[in-house]
Amino acid sequence: MKIKSRNILRKTEEKALVNDIMEAFGDVSSFTGKKLEYVQSDERDFIFVDGEPLLFNIEGKIFPTVKGALKLNPVRRRVVVDPGAVKFIINGADVMAPGIVDVDPTIREGDLVIVVEQAHGKALAIGRALMPGKDMVGGKGKAVKSIHYVGDELWKLEQK
C-alpha cells in the first residue's frame, strides 16, 4: 500500500470529524488535541491521528481501523466472538454466526461493525454485517464479512 498524499486537517474539518465520531461511537477523547491528517493511499483513504492510521474511509463513511477501535474501545456496533473464532478471524476469515456470543442489537444488515474477542473485549476485525444484529446470536451462516483484521496490510501500515 503506497501513500500518495498527506494533508493536515483544517480546524473545521477536524471539528466535523470529531462530531461524526462522537455521534457514531460516543467517545472522542482519543482524538481531541491530536494532530489529524487526511492520508490518501493507492487503496484507501485514512485519517492518521498523531501518525497512526486510526480511522479509514469506507464507501464515504469514516470508521475506525482495528488500531482505532483498540484506542477508542467503542460500546456500539460491536460483535463479540467466542475464543474458538479468534484464530480464524485474525487470519481474515468472515465471522460465522455460531461463533458470536453477544452483539449490539441495533446493528442492521449492511452496517459496518467492530468484531471483538470475548475474554478481553479487544478488537480483532472490522467488517460489514450480513444480517441484523438480533439474528446473529444463535444464527447460522456468515454474519459479518471481514474488511480489515489484525495482521493484514492495513494493520502493518506505519507512519512514513
End-to-end, the C-alpha distance of the chain in Å comes to 12
Structural domains in the chain (count): 2
Write out pLDDT tens, residues 25-43: 766 676 777 888 999 888 8
Co-location of 84 and 57 in the same domain = no
Write out pLDDT tens, residues 104-125: 999 999 999 999 999 999 999 9
Dihedral (Cα; 120, 57, 34, 49), 10-degree rounding: 70
Write out pLDDT tens, residues 61-99: 888 999 989 988 888 899 999 999 999 999 999 999 999
Task: Please report where in the chains the cell 485514512 appears, as a residue.
Answer: 46
For residue 160, tell me if it sits in a domain: no
- Domain end, chosen from 72, 106, 131, is at 72
What does the pLDDT read at residue 133?
95
Can you give the residue range of the structural domain that contains 52? 3-72
Enter the pTM of the model: 0.89
Task: Please report where in the chains the cell 460489514 appears, as a residue.
Answer: 128
Q: Mean of the pLDDT values across residues 34-62? A: 87
